[in-house]
Amino acid sequence: MSDQIPVTVLTGYLGAGKTTLLNRILTENHGKKFAVVINEFGELGVDNDLVVDADEEVFEMNNGCICCTVRGDLIRILSSLMKRREKFDGIIVETTGLADPAPVAQTFFVDEDVKRATRLDAIVTVVDAKHLLARLDDTKEAEEQIAFADLILLNKMDLVSEAEAVEVERRIRAINPMVELIRSTKSDVPITSVIGRDAFNLERILAREPEFLSGEDHHEHDSEVNSVAFEVSRPIDPEKFNTWMSDLLAAKGQDLLRTKGILAYPDEDRRFAFQAVHMIADGDYIGPWKADDARKSKIVFIGRDLNRPQLRRGFEACQVAQGTAA
Amino acid sequence: MSEAAELEFLLGQRGTSHELGAWVIGLAFGREGRSLHAGLGDGTVRVAQVSAPQDWLSVEAHKGAVLSLCADGQDGAITGGDDGRVMRIAPDGTATELAKFGSKWVEHVVAHESGIRAASVAKAVHVLDAKGGLLKSLAHPSTVGGIAFDAKGKRVAASHYNGASLWFVNAKEDKPRLLDWKGSHAAIAIHPEGGHVVTAMQEMSLHGWRLQDGQHMRMSGYPSKTHSLSFTNKGKWLATSGAEAVVLWPFFGGGPMGKAPTELAGGDGVMCTQVACHPQHEMVAAGFEDGLVLLADINTGRVLPVAPPGQGGVSALAWNPAGSHLAFGTESGFVGILDLSAR
């Protein structure tokens, strides 16, 4: 639905350059108008016609799912902004440095009104190249903001050496192998690299493929959030996959921050895309497999305490029985 | 609706319509019945006289958007806006600022015929007297999702996260009765006889409390969120939006606990977005996501088509106090006014 207004979520630790990026987006001459939802602890003033103060009220959904949280304030604000949607082209939501991105992302999966009127364009995380490693060691929010990012602005590049930058990028990729990384200084990047990315679209899932089957485990002893990725070549039995995934999300959803997959179903010419934020899952058929594509199913988990052999066995067991492959 | 073309819509026979050009957030007739007020997403309030429903004047009420609108105590309407102001709009369109609460949004306003008004701003409900003076500010644990006066104007209820708070407006010491229920509560209504409070929840169900004994009432099964709640005149039924029919819960014979709701005007697979019960009769006006507006007689189930689909999802409905005129407004800024009085 082209009618839906794109929403860009900006996260990042205090002092990383989030507000600088926001002001760049707003002042660059691109002819687009944005409504901006800022948190009350913003670092700098934001100069824009339509600025809304948000309280970051995180509400648990009373639906038996303990990790299903939404941002109550966002639901109210976005629903209200929709009633004057002709006044802007997009919405930017800035979160506080200490915010967990999960409730923001889940709001776009769970709330019907928000889903109908808006679409999550991308979660953009601004990180400070100089201080990220220290932040990752002492806070869980910094890890979560990286785990949830579709795009990371590796900012303050002027303050680090090339070797330091490479190490920071390696740590980021260990947490989130799919994220797009952009190096910057003073958040100076073209607006088109940040806005209008459509990164949350199911069709864009795995647009950047992690290194599958590299043989190298992405386990990091010094980093709590990790990722694992698997690829199988026989088609996936949808029933087996759904049973496995719903059991897995119910049992481990709190530790699974993000799950993304592209699945080949038997006798189906279209790819099935799947994504989940904690226990909240979404999936649909996307475009057809290309004629020369190897129809391999792929899945990536980002989370805590991931049991790699168990997840691998589980995914492999979702394949149709040997010999019945199309 | 293939048979829609064959149906006679009341709007064509007894109505006038108008394009206002922005999302209709709320509609209210003045309590004396003279004027009709429409609050819009562009910050204006449009005013028409019931005697000349084709002539609308535009009042620049708020800098951003009108967030809520209701009939004021005697005549005219009051509005809350995202510029932090509460405005009074007289029947002739004269706008007066009643209160200003900084840059915060005034998300909900309600008024009672006694002249008292209440406005919610973030976690607070501010109670204003008939002259616009601030009587008191009532604090809540989280942002207020909806407010309602009881029929006598003695109590005000505010919904929020994990329940609702019920306050006596004239209490010397402000201490609410907390109505607990886990989850996020928005739209709220008090039964006309004052014995029940009902809220619509984020979890796509309703929750109610019988005040006499604190008995909980769970009303679930909605495929989407309920935004609109309306009790019939004597409170026998509670009409609700949020399903592909008008869902009515019985508040008699021991209900709604253990009773199935009555569903009216369903079958088209289109979501009901607004409901408004007739001020005297057991009849409900309902608006749907496709723009269809209809009237349903609750006791016979008979449905009268009011306006055909196609002018945008119905976002507001209002009766005049005499019950002779019905107004509806849509997301695309279309309004219709119907004269249903006997001819």
Local structure of A46: helix, strand or coil: coil
Q: What is the pLDDT of residues B286-326, one digit of tens each?
A: 999 999 999 999 999 999 999 999 999 999 999 999 999 99
Evaluate if residue A90 carries a pLDDT over 80: yes
Q: Confirm whether B343 is domain-assigned.
A: yes
> Percent helix, strand, coil in chain B (nearest 5)?
5, 50, 45
The answer, for B101 touching chain A at a CB cutoff of 8 Å, is: no
* Option in B42, B104, B184 nearest A72 (CB): B184
Minimal Cα distance from A50: which residue of B? B64
Tell me, what's the pLDDT at B43?
Answer: 96
Q: Confirm whether A206 is domain-assigned.
A: no
What value does the mean pLDDT take over residues A216-241?
79
Q: What is the pLDDT of residues B26-48, one digit of tens each?
A: 999 999 999 999 999 999 999 99
Which domain covers residue B320, as residue numbers?
225-343
- Dist. CA A264–CA B78, nearest whole Å: 58
* Cβ contacts from A onto B, under 8 A: 62
Residue at which a domain ends, from A200, A232, A259: A200
Q: Confirm whether A147 is domain-assigned.
A: yes
Q: What is the pLDDT of residues B258-295, one digit of tens each?
A: 889 999 988 789 999 999 999 999 999 999 999 999 99
Evaluate if residue A64 carries a pLDDT over 50: yes
Q: Confirm whether A34 is domain-assigned.
A: yes
Q: Confirm whether B332 is domain-assigned.
A: yes
- Flag if B105 and A72 touch (Cβ within 8 Å): no
* Interface predicted TM-score (ipTM) of this complex, two decimals: 0.90
Q: In this structure, are A27 and A157 located in the same domain?
A: yes
Contact present, A129 and A165 (Cβ < 8 Å): yes
pTM, entire model: 0.89
Q: Confirm whether A27 is domain-assigned.
A: yes
Q: Confirm whether A272 is domain-assigned.
A: yes
Tell me, what's the pLDDT at A325?
Answer: 46
Reported confidence tier of residue A321, pLDDT bands at 50, 70, 90: confident
Q: In this structure, are A239 and A134 located in the same domain?
A: no
Tell me, what's the pLDDT at A220?
Answer: 53
Evaluate if residue B196 carries a pLDDT over 60: yes
Q: Confirm whether A148 is domain-assigned.
A: yes
* Option in B42, B65, B143 nearest A72 (CB): B143
Reported confidence tier of residue B255, pLDDT bands at 50, 70, 90: confident
Q: Confirm whether A102 is domain-assigned.
A: yes
What value does the mean pLDDT take over residues A112-132?
92
Q: Is A206 left (phi over 0), alpha (psi -120 to 50) or beta?
A: left
**Can the peptide bond before residue B256 be classed as cis, meaning omega within 30 degrees of 0?**
yes
Interface residues from chain A to B (CB-CB < 8 Å): 50, 52-53, 55, 57, 59-63, 70, 72-73, 75-76, 80, 82-84, 86, 111-113
Residue found under tokens 């006596």: B168
What value does the mean pLDDT take over residues A58-73?
80
* Option in B23, B203, B224 nearest A63 (CB): B203
- Dist. CA A57–CA B112, nearest whole Å: 30
Q: Confirm whether B301 is domain-assigned.
A: yes
- Cβ neighbors of A157 (< 8 A, separation 6 or more) are A129, A165, A183, A184, A185
Q: In this structure, are A185 and A273 located in the same domain?
A: no
Reported confidence tier of residue B252, pLDDT bands at 50, 70, 90: very high
Minimal Cα distance from B142: which residue of A? A57
- Flag if B23 and A84 touch (Cβ within 8 Å): yes
Evaluate if residue B1 carries a pLDDT over 50: no
Q: In this structure, are A168 and A311 located in the same domain?
A: no
Minimal Cα distance from A107: which residue of B? B202
Which domain covers residue A251, as residue numbers?
215-316
Evaluate if residue B151 carries a pLDDT over 90: yes
CATH number at residue A291: 3.30.1220.10
Q: What is the pLDDT of residues B64-113, one digit of tens each?
A: 999 999 999 999 999 999 999 999 999 999 999 999 998 889 999 999 99
What's the domain count of chain B?
1
| B312 closest CA partner among A3, A78, A22 | A3
- Dist. CA B333–CA B321, nearest whole Å: 24
Q: In this structure, are A132 and A16 located in the same domain?
A: yes
Tell me, what's the pLDDT at A217?
Answer: 53
Q: In this structure, are A219 and A286 located in the same domain?
A: yes
Q: In this structure, are A226 and A196 located in the same domain?
A: no
Least confident range of A241-250, A271-280, B2-11, B123-132: B2-11
From the CA of B8, how many Å to the nearest CA of chain A?
Answer: 31
Least confident range of A60-69, B8-17, B65-74, B212-221: A60-69
What value does the mean pLDDT take over residues A169-183?
91
What's the domain count of chain A?
2
Q: Is B245 left (phi over 0), alpha (psi -120 to 50) or beta?
A: beta
Reported confidence tier of residue B141, pLDDT bands at 50, 70, 90: very high
Q: In this structure, are A133 and A250 located in the same domain?
A: no
- Flag if A57 and B107 touch (Cβ within 8 Å): no
Tell me, what's the pLDDT at A68?
Answer: 82
Q: What is the DSSP string of B210-266?
A: ETTTTEEEEE---SS----EEE-TTSSEEEE-SSSSEEEEE-STT-STT-PPEEES-
Q: Cβ atoms within 10 A of the Cβ of A233, count?
A: 11
Q: Cβ atoms within 10 A of the Cβ of A325, count?
A: 13
Contact present, A11 and A95 (Cβ < 8 Å): yes
Contact present, A211 and A177 (Cβ < 8 Å): yes
Total residue count of chain A as it appears in this document: 326
Average pLDDT, rounded, for chain A? 86
Q: Confirm whether A322 is domain-assigned.
A: no
CATH number at residue B241: 2.130.10.10
Minimal Cα distance from A49: which residue of B? B64
Q: Confirm whether B340 is domain-assigned.
A: yes
Tell me, what's the pLDDT at A223?
Answer: 55
Task: Tell me which chain B residues have a C-beta less than 8 angstroms from the C-beta of A62.
Answer: 182-184, 201, 203
Task: Tell me which chain A residues have a C-beta less than 8 angstroms from the C-beta of B201.
Answer: 62
Reported confidence tier of residue A215, pLDDT bands at 50, 70, 90: very low
* Option in B122, B182, B224 nearest A62 (CB): B182
* Option in A60, A84, A111 nearest B65 (CB): A84
